[in-house]
Structures are given as C-alpha cells and as structure tokens.
C-alpha cells in the first residue's frame, strides 16, 4: 500500500482524471467501516493472533499519517485497521497499489478502508481530515524474501513525506512483528519469475511482462497448507515524527530526506523493540501455539 513515486512504465495501467475524480467521490462517501465486519474480524484477530499493542497513547488527536513496515502478502493491514478502529475509534484509509483497482476487488475492499494510492486521492482525503495509512515499501516490501523479513524496502520513495508536508500532517510511526512469520517461503517470488515455466509462457505469449515487485513467494503455512500460522502479533506506535508545514510551497529535498530518515529509524526501532518483546515473552506461550508456530 503506497503512493506512487516511480516513473510510469508503458505496460502499466493508468487512471484518467475522470476516473480519479469518481474514485475520490466514492472514497469520501465511505465515512465508517461496516461495524459487523470489523467486529467479526477483530474477534478473529484477538483469538488467532492474540496481538499485544503498545503505545496507543502516542497516536495524536489530530489527523495523522500512519507509516510502518509491510509484511508478506500485505495482510498486516488486516490486523492494524480493525485494531486501531476498535481500540480508538479511528478509521484509517490505507493507500493501496493500483493493481487492486484494475478490477472490482478494490472497491469491495474500499468499504473497509482501502483507497487507491494516488497523490490526488491522498490530497482529497487529507483535505477532508482523514487518518491515512501508507506502507512506503509497497508491493516490493510485501513480497520480500525470507532473508529480508522485518526489514524496510523503501527504495527511493519520498511521496508520503511530500503529501504530509503539503497538508500539515505529522507522521505516526509503527512497527509490527508477527505477520512475516505467518508463512514460510517454499519458493521466492523472484525465483518463480525466473523459472523455466514462466519464461516459456512469456515466450509463447500466454503471459506478458510481470512487475517483479508484485510476484509473491509460494507460501507454506500451518500444516504445510495456505492457512497462516497462529503467530502472535506485537504492534507498537511511536511518538509522532514532526513534519515541516509546507502548505502552499515546495517541499525541499533536504526536508524530504530528513523526514524519511527519521521515520525509517523510528519504524526500525519499533520493530526491534517488538522482536525483543516477542523473544522475552516466548516462554509464556501456550503449548499448542508454540507447537503450531515452530
């Protein structure tokens, strides 16, 4: 889930101004999630992933931009959004990859807070005073290798800083541990993309070019199935990162780099804290959970 910083490629789908305006109107019309859906999801999360939540008091009263680490398949939003809503009443809007909105799936997910990751969408939601959620690593971070788990893969993305500065938003960093361990990686996505089968299908014209960052690993979960392992989640919110107010003027590269660095350091520190907390509390886990998450 991310704003788009990289240059457009010829084979990528783009949206017209009219389509963007239509999506903005639809997103703004969704004022709250479906309570029954979030109630059921939150109840499942509490039972299956048993999250430990730290630092809710750090979330500011004013609208804020939540920034954190992204996990395998990008399903960490499934933990974060219902949890924040049920614990604080804040309805986060998660900026999602445009691939979701090339089909009807994106609008179905919009009812729970996902919106198109586009600067105009972000501006409209910030102007309306909504809390936003951005994973700067986007698909590349969600589909990282097993060796890269819990690391940030943000490349050279600064869009989230520019949007915050242009709209007077500060950044609330968070770190989450757990989702990167829900599945093992049977085959890495980049290995799959380079496989003989994919190369043959491309040569035959059955499939075209594929964005490397959207190819996930082949997962192996609970009992070697696709079910996620019941790995406990640890979620921490840090103190807000101050962003210079640049409304009505350009955001200098110095500001962008400074805020991005401070945000990344805050997220990495929170992730480290949660990894330590998990290790310190491992002995408290029940026998069943320990057996199922080995």
Tens digits of residue pLDDT in 148-190: 999 999 989 999 999 999 999 999 999 999 999 999 998 887 7
pLDDT at 129: 97
Is 73 inside a domain boundary? yes
User: Does the residue 215 lie in any domain?
Assistant: no
pLDDT at 135: 96
Q: Is 83 left (phi over 0), alpha (psi -120 to 50) or beta?
A: alpha
Q: Is residue 195 part of a domain?
A: no
Domain range for residue 140?
Answer: 17-182+229-292
Residue 221 inside a domain? The answer is: no
Residue-level pLDDT at 211 = 73
Per-residue pLDDT, 13: 62
> What is the model's pTM?
0.89
Domain membership of residue 198 (yes or no) is no
Q: Is residue 214 part of a domain?
A: no
Is 213 a residue whose pLDDT tops 90? no
At 245, list the tokens.
């107010």
Q: Chain-wide mean pLDDT for the chain?
A: 90
Q: Do you know the residue count of the chain?
A: 294
How confident is the model over 78-111, as pLDDT tens digits? 899 999 999 999 999 999 888 788 878 888 899 9
Per-residue pLDDT at 158: 96
CATH number of the domain that residue 159 is part of: 3.40.1130
The string of DSSP letters for the chain reads -----SPP-TTS----HHHHHHHHHHHHH--S--HHHHHHHHHHHHHHT--EEE-GGGS-SS--EEEE---GGGTHHHHHHHHHHHHH----EEEE-GGGGGSTHHHHHHTTTEEE--HHHHHHHHHTT--EEE-TTHHHHHT--GGGTT----TT--HHHHHHHHTT--EEEEEEESGGGSSEEEE-HHHHHTSHHHHHHHHTTSS----GGG-PPEEE-GGGSSSPP-PPPEEEEPPPBP----TTS---HHHHHHHHHHHHHHHHHHHHHHHHHHHHHGGGS-HHHHHHT-
Count of domains observed in the chain: 1
Give domain status of residue 58, yes or no. yes
Question: What's the pLDDT tens digit per position in 19-60?
Answer: 999 999 999 999 999 999 999 999 999 999 999 999 999 999
Q: Is 250 contained in some domain?
A: yes
């Amino acid at each position: 889930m991310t704003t788009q910083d990289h240059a457009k490629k010829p084979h990528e789908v783009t949206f017209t101004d009219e389509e963007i305006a239509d999506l903005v109107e639809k997103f703004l019309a969704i004022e709250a999630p479906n309570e029954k859906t979030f109630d059921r999801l939150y109840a499942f999360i509490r039972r299956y992933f048993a999250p430990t939540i730290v630092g809710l008091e750090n979330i500011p009263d004013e609208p804020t931009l939540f920034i954190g680490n992204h996990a395998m398949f990008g399903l960490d939003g499934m933990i974060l959004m219902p949890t924040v809503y049920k614990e604080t009443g804040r309805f986060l809007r998660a900026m999602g990859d445009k691939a979701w909105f090339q089909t009807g799936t994106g609008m179905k997910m919009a009812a729970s807070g996902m919106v198109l990751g586009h600067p105009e969408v972000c501006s409209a939601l910030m102007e309306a005073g909504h809390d936003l959620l951005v994973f700067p690593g986007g698909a590349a971070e969600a589909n990282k290798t097993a060796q890269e788990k819990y690391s940030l893969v943000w490349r050279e993305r600064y869009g989230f800083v520019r949007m915050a500065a242009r709209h007077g938003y500060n950044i609330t960093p968070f770190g989450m541990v757990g989702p990167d361990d829900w599945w093992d990686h049977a085959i890495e996505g980049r290995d799959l993309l380079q496989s003989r089968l994919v190369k043959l299908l491309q040569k035959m014209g059955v499939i075209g070019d594929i964005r490397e960052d959207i190819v996930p690993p082949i997962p192996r979960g609970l009992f070697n199935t696709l079910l996620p392992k019941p790995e406990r989640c640890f979620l921490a919110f840090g103190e807000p990162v101050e962003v210079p107010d640049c409304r009505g003027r350009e955001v200098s590269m110095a500001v962008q780099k400074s805020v991005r660095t401070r945000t990344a350091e805050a997220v990495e520190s929170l992730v480290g804290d949660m990894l330590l907390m998990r290790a310190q509390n491992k002995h408290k886990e029940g026998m069943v959970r320990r057996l199922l998450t080995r």
